[in-house]
Amino acid sequence: MKTPHSLEALIEEGVIDEVLRPLKSGKEATIHVVRSGTQVLCAKVYKDMAQRSFQATTQYQEGRRVRGSRQARAMRKSTKYGRREQHAAWKNAEADALYQLIEVGVRVPKPHGYHNGVLLMELVTDAEGNSAPRLGEVELTADTARSFHGELIADVVRMLCVGLIHGDLSAYNVLVAEAGPVIIDFPQVVSASRNNAAREMLLRDVHNLRDCLGRFAPELNATHYGEEMWALYERGELRPDAGLTGQFLFDARAADVGAVMITIEDARHEAIVRQRGREEAAERD
Protein backbone atom coordinates (compact mmCIF):
# COMPACT_ATOMS: atom_id res chain seq x y z
CA MET A 1 0.00 0.00 0.00
CA LYS A 2 1.04 3.63 -0.42
CA THR A 3 2.92 4.91 2.61
CA PRO A 4 0.92 7.53 4.54
CA HIS A 5 2.69 10.89 4.72
CA SER A 6 2.68 10.72 8.52
CA LEU A 7 4.81 7.55 8.45
CA GLU A 8 7.28 8.47 5.71
CA ALA A 9 9.77 9.95 8.19
CA LEU A 10 9.84 6.72 10.22
CA ILE A 11 10.69 4.71 7.09
CA GLU A 12 13.37 7.21 6.06
CA GLU A 13 14.92 7.00 9.53
CA GLY A 14 14.82 3.18 9.50
CA VAL A 15 12.45 2.98 12.48
CA ILE A 16 9.99 0.89 10.44
CA ASP A 17 10.45 -0.95 7.16
CA GLU A 18 6.99 -0.86 5.61
CA VAL A 19 3.33 -0.12 6.19
CA LEU A 20 1.25 -3.28 5.79
CA ARG A 21 -2.33 -2.08 6.15
CA PRO A 22 -4.62 0.37 7.94
CA LEU A 23 -6.15 -1.02 11.13
CA LYS A 24 -8.42 1.65 12.58
CA SER A 25 -9.30 5.30 12.08
CA GLY A 26 -10.98 7.29 14.82
CA LYS A 27 -11.57 10.91 15.76
CA GLU A 28 -8.26 11.13 17.63
CA ALA A 29 -5.86 8.87 15.74
CA THR A 30 -5.28 6.55 12.82
CA ILE A 31 -3.63 3.19 13.44
CA HIS A 32 -1.64 1.24 10.85
CA VAL A 33 -0.07 -2.20 10.97
CA VAL A 34 3.63 -1.86 10.16
CA ARG A 35 6.72 -4.06 9.93
CA SER A 36 9.92 -3.28 11.80
CA GLY A 37 12.51 -5.93 11.05
CA THR A 38 10.86 -9.23 11.93
CA GLN A 39 8.25 -7.59 14.18
CA VAL A 40 4.72 -6.64 13.18
CA LEU A 41 3.61 -3.62 15.20
CA CYS A 42 0.94 -0.94 15.42
CA ALA A 43 1.73 2.66 14.52
CA LYS A 44 -0.65 5.13 16.13
CA VAL A 45 -0.69 8.48 14.35
CA TYR A 46 -2.41 11.21 16.31
CA LYS A 47 -4.63 13.63 14.43
CA ASP A 48 -4.47 17.37 14.90
CA MET A 49 -7.08 18.46 17.41
CA ALA A 50 -9.36 21.44 16.71
CA GLN A 51 -10.21 24.05 19.35
CA ARG A 52 -13.50 22.30 20.15
CA SER A 53 -11.63 19.06 20.86
CA PHE A 54 -9.23 20.84 23.20
CA GLN A 55 -12.12 22.20 25.20
CA ALA A 56 -13.58 18.72 25.47
CA THR A 57 -10.35 17.36 26.92
CA THR A 58 -9.87 20.05 29.56
CA GLN A 59 -11.21 17.97 32.44
CA TYR A 60 -8.89 15.09 31.58
CA GLN A 61 -5.79 17.29 31.51
CA GLU A 62 -6.46 18.93 34.86
CA GLY A 63 -3.58 18.15 37.19
CA ARG A 64 -1.15 16.94 34.51
CA ARG A 65 2.39 18.15 34.95
CA VAL A 66 3.84 20.29 32.17
CA ARG A 67 7.44 21.23 31.42
CA GLY A 68 7.35 24.76 32.83
CA SER A 69 5.35 27.74 33.99
CA ARG A 70 5.29 29.30 30.52
CA GLN A 71 3.63 26.22 29.04
CA ALA A 72 1.14 26.05 31.92
CA ARG A 73 0.12 29.70 31.51
CA ALA A 74 -0.24 29.37 27.75
CA MET A 75 -2.39 26.26 28.12
CA ARG A 76 -4.66 27.97 30.65
CA LYS A 77 -5.11 30.98 28.35
CA SER A 78 -5.61 28.72 25.32
CA THR A 79 -3.20 30.71 23.16
CA LYS A 80 -2.01 29.28 19.85
CA TYR A 81 1.21 28.21 21.52
CA GLY A 82 -0.76 26.85 24.48
CA ARG A 83 -3.00 24.75 22.24
CA ARG A 84 0.08 23.35 20.51
CA GLU A 85 1.62 22.46 23.86
CA GLN A 86 -1.68 20.96 25.02
CA HIS A 87 -1.83 18.82 21.91
CA ALA A 88 1.76 17.65 22.47
CA ALA A 89 0.99 16.82 26.10
CA TRP A 90 -2.10 14.86 24.99
CA LYS A 91 -0.02 12.71 22.63
CA ASN A 92 2.87 12.20 25.05
CA ALA A 93 0.53 11.12 27.85
CA GLU A 94 -0.31 7.79 26.22
CA ALA A 95 3.29 6.75 25.64
CA ASP A 96 4.26 7.76 29.18
CA ALA A 97 1.31 5.84 30.64
CA LEU A 98 2.03 2.65 28.67
CA TYR A 99 5.66 2.54 29.82
CA GLN A 100 4.59 3.12 33.42
CA LEU A 101 1.76 0.58 33.39
CA ILE A 102 3.68 -2.21 31.68
CA GLU A 103 6.19 -1.97 34.53
CA VAL A 104 3.53 -2.65 37.19
CA GLY A 105 1.90 -5.56 35.36
CA VAL A 106 -1.14 -3.92 33.78
CA ARG A 107 -2.17 -5.69 30.57
CA VAL A 108 -1.64 -2.99 27.94
CA PRO A 109 0.01 -3.07 24.50
CA LYS A 110 3.78 -3.13 24.96
CA PRO A 111 5.21 0.21 23.72
CA HIS A 112 8.05 0.17 21.19
CA GLY A 113 8.94 3.85 21.12
CA TYR A 114 7.48 7.26 20.36
CA HIS A 115 8.85 8.90 17.20
CA ASN A 116 7.82 12.20 15.59
CA GLY A 117 4.34 12.08 17.08
CA VAL A 118 3.84 8.38 16.23
CA LEU A 119 3.46 5.76 18.94
CA LEU A 120 4.75 2.30 18.04
CA MET A 121 3.36 -0.55 20.09
CA GLU A 122 2.54 -4.22 20.17
CA LEU A 123 -0.12 -5.53 17.80
CA VAL A 124 -2.64 -7.30 20.04
CA THR A 125 -3.90 -10.50 18.41
CA ASP A 126 -6.42 -13.25 19.08
CA ALA A 127 -5.81 -17.00 19.19
CA GLU A 128 -5.71 -17.18 15.36
CA GLY A 129 -3.18 -14.37 15.06
CA ASN A 130 -5.71 -11.86 13.77
CA SER A 131 -6.14 -8.36 15.19
CA ALA A 132 -7.93 -8.84 18.51
CA PRO A 133 -11.62 -7.83 18.66
CA ARG A 134 -12.99 -5.34 21.16
CA LEU A 135 -14.72 -6.60 24.27
CA GLY A 136 -17.99 -5.08 23.10
CA GLU A 137 -17.88 -7.14 19.93
CA VAL A 138 -17.71 -10.65 21.43
CA GLU A 139 -20.12 -13.00 23.14
CA LEU A 140 -18.91 -14.54 26.40
CA THR A 141 -19.90 -17.36 28.69
CA ALA A 142 -20.74 -16.42 32.28
CA ASP A 143 -17.50 -17.96 33.54
CA THR A 144 -15.40 -16.08 30.99
CA ALA A 145 -17.18 -12.82 31.82
CA ARG A 146 -16.43 -13.31 35.53
CA SER A 147 -12.80 -14.10 34.75
CA PHE A 148 -12.40 -11.05 32.50
CA HIS A 149 -14.06 -8.84 35.10
CA GLY A 150 -11.66 -10.03 37.78
CA GLU A 151 -8.64 -9.42 35.54
CA LEU A 152 -9.79 -5.95 34.51
CA ILE A 153 -10.62 -4.88 38.06
CA ALA A 154 -7.16 -6.03 39.13
CA ASP A 155 -5.64 -3.89 36.35
CA VAL A 156 -7.71 -0.85 37.38
CA VAL A 157 -6.41 -1.33 40.95
CA ARG A 158 -2.81 -1.54 39.71
CA MET A 159 -3.33 1.66 37.75
CA LEU A 160 -4.81 3.46 40.73
CA CYS A 161 -1.93 2.30 42.92
CA VAL A 162 0.45 4.28 40.69
CA GLY A 163 -1.90 7.26 40.65
CA LEU A 164 -3.50 6.79 37.22
CA ILE A 165 -7.10 6.42 36.03
CA HIS A 166 -7.93 5.48 32.44
CA GLY A 167 -10.74 8.04 32.25
CA ASP A 168 -12.54 6.58 29.24
CA LEU A 169 -12.61 2.85 29.91
CA SER A 170 -15.39 0.89 28.27
CA ALA A 171 -16.07 -2.28 26.31
CA TYR A 172 -14.57 -0.54 23.26
CA ASN A 173 -11.24 0.27 24.93
CA VAL A 174 -10.54 -3.35 25.84
CA LEU A 175 -9.23 -5.89 23.33
CA VAL A 176 -9.80 -9.62 23.75
CA ALA A 177 -6.39 -11.19 23.16
CA GLU A 178 -5.53 -14.88 23.26
CA ALA A 179 -4.36 -14.55 26.89
CA GLY A 180 -7.23 -12.34 28.05
CA PRO A 181 -8.34 -8.71 28.05
CA VAL A 182 -5.91 -5.90 27.15
CA ILE A 183 -6.69 -2.25 27.96
CA ILE A 184 -5.96 0.29 25.20
CA ASP A 185 -6.29 4.03 24.43
CA PHE A 186 -4.63 6.15 27.10
CA PRO A 187 -4.26 9.72 25.75
CA GLN A 188 -6.87 10.95 28.25
CA VAL A 189 -5.29 9.18 31.25
CA VAL A 190 -6.11 11.04 34.49
CA SER A 191 -4.08 11.87 37.60
CA ALA A 192 -5.88 10.30 40.57
CA SER A 193 -4.47 12.77 43.09
CA ARG A 194 -4.52 16.03 41.12
CA ASN A 195 -7.75 15.90 39.11
CA ASN A 196 -10.92 17.03 40.88
CA ALA A 197 -13.04 14.64 38.79
CA ALA A 198 -10.81 11.61 39.45
CA ARG A 199 -13.31 9.72 41.62
CA GLU A 200 -16.13 10.33 39.17
CA MET A 201 -14.04 9.06 36.26
CA LEU A 202 -12.86 5.99 38.15
CA LEU A 203 -16.43 5.05 39.04
CA ARG A 204 -17.52 5.56 35.45
CA ASP A 205 -14.70 3.30 34.20
CA VAL A 206 -15.53 0.53 36.67
CA HIS A 207 -19.28 0.81 36.12
CA ASN A 208 -18.79 0.59 32.34
CA LEU A 209 -16.94 -2.70 32.81
CA ARG A 210 -19.62 -3.92 35.18
CA ASP A 211 -22.42 -3.03 32.75
CA CYS A 212 -20.71 -4.76 29.84
CA LEU A 213 -19.76 -7.99 31.59
CA GLY A 214 -22.90 -8.03 33.73
CA ARG A 215 -24.84 -8.89 30.58
CA PHE A 216 -23.21 -12.32 30.68
CA ALA A 217 -22.83 -12.72 34.46
CA PRO A 218 -25.78 -10.80 36.01
CA GLU A 219 -24.49 -11.06 39.60
CA LEU A 220 -21.76 -8.56 38.66
CA ASN A 221 -24.40 -5.87 38.39
CA ALA A 222 -24.78 -5.81 42.18
CA THR A 223 -21.09 -5.10 42.83
CA HIS A 224 -19.44 -1.79 43.77
CA TYR A 225 -15.74 -2.31 43.15
CA GLY A 226 -15.15 1.29 42.13
CA GLU A 227 -16.48 2.72 45.38
CA GLU A 228 -14.58 0.13 47.39
CA MET A 229 -11.20 0.75 45.76
CA TRP A 230 -11.56 4.54 45.88
CA ALA A 231 -12.32 4.44 49.62
CA LEU A 232 -9.16 2.37 50.18
CA TYR A 233 -7.15 4.73 47.94
CA GLU A 234 -8.30 7.80 49.89
CA ARG A 235 -7.22 6.17 53.14
CA GLY A 236 -3.84 5.21 51.68
CA GLU A 237 -4.65 1.51 52.09
CA LEU A 238 -5.02 0.40 48.47
CA ARG A 239 -2.48 -2.22 47.39
CA PRO A 240 -2.01 -4.03 44.04
CA ASP A 241 -2.95 -7.32 45.71
CA ALA A 242 -5.94 -5.87 47.56
CA GLY A 243 -8.56 -8.55 48.15
CA LEU A 244 -11.60 -6.57 47.01
CA THR A 245 -15.06 -7.96 47.67
CA GLY A 246 -17.20 -5.72 45.48
CA GLN A 247 -19.28 -4.84 48.54
CA PHE A 248 -19.52 -1.26 49.80
CA LEU A 249 -21.50 0.34 52.62
CA PHE A 250 -22.87 3.65 51.41
CA ASP A 251 -23.19 6.56 53.85
CA ALA A 252 -26.92 7.20 54.19
CA ARG A 253 -26.58 10.03 56.68
CA ALA A 254 -28.08 13.39 55.67
CA ALA A 255 -25.52 16.10 55.01
CA ASP A 256 -25.38 18.99 57.51
CA VAL A 257 -25.74 21.77 54.94
CA GLY A 258 -25.77 24.50 57.62
CA ALA A 259 -22.42 23.41 59.01
CA VAL A 260 -20.93 23.25 55.53
CA MET A 261 -22.10 26.78 54.73
CA ILE A 262 -20.64 28.10 58.00
CA THR A 263 -17.28 26.49 57.15
CA ILE A 264 -17.35 28.04 53.68
CA GLU A 265 -18.21 31.48 55.06
CA ASP A 266 -15.43 31.25 57.68
CA ALA A 267 -12.92 30.34 54.97
CA ARG A 268 -14.10 33.23 52.79
CA HIS A 269 -13.78 35.68 55.70
CA GLU A 270 -10.26 34.45 56.49
CA ALA A 271 -9.25 34.87 52.86
CA ILE A 272 -10.54 38.47 52.86
CA VAL A 273 -8.63 39.26 56.07
CA ARG A 274 -5.42 37.79 54.63
CA GLN A 275 -5.81 39.78 51.41
CA ARG A 276 -6.36 43.01 53.32
CA GLY A 277 -3.26 42.28 55.39
CA ARG A 278 -1.17 41.81 52.24
CA GLU A 279 -2.51 45.06 50.76
CA GLU A 280 -1.77 47.03 53.93
CA ALA A 281 1.75 45.57 54.07
CA ALA A 282 2.32 46.54 50.45
CA GLU A 283 1.16 50.11 51.15
CA ARG A 284 3.56 50.42 54.09
CA ASP A 285 6.44 49.27 51.92
Q: How many domains does the chain have?
A: 1
Question: Is residue 264 situated within a structural domain?
Answer: no
Question: Is residue 212 situated within a structural domain?
Answer: yes
CATH code for position 160: 1.10.510.10
The whole-number pLDDT of residue 61 equals 61
% of residues, the chain, pLDDT over 90: 62
The whole-number pLDDT of residue 157 equals 98
Tell me how far apart the alpha carbons of residues 240 and 16 are, in angstroms, rounded to a whole number.
36
- For residue 225, what are the domain limits? 5-234
95 in Cβ contact with 44 (< 8 Å): no
The whole-number pLDDT of residue 234 equals 96
Question: Is residue 273 situated within a structural domain?
Answer: no
- Provide block-wise average pLDDT over 10 residues at a time, the chain (285 residues): 89 95 89 96 84 51 55 51 59 90 97 92 94 96 98 98 96 96 94 93 98 98 97 96 90 64 74 74 66
Question: Is residue 155 situated within a structural domain?
Answer: yes
Question: Does the pTM exceed 0.75?
Answer: yes
Tell me how far apart the alpha carbons of residues 92 and 115 are, in angstroms, rounded to a whole number.
10
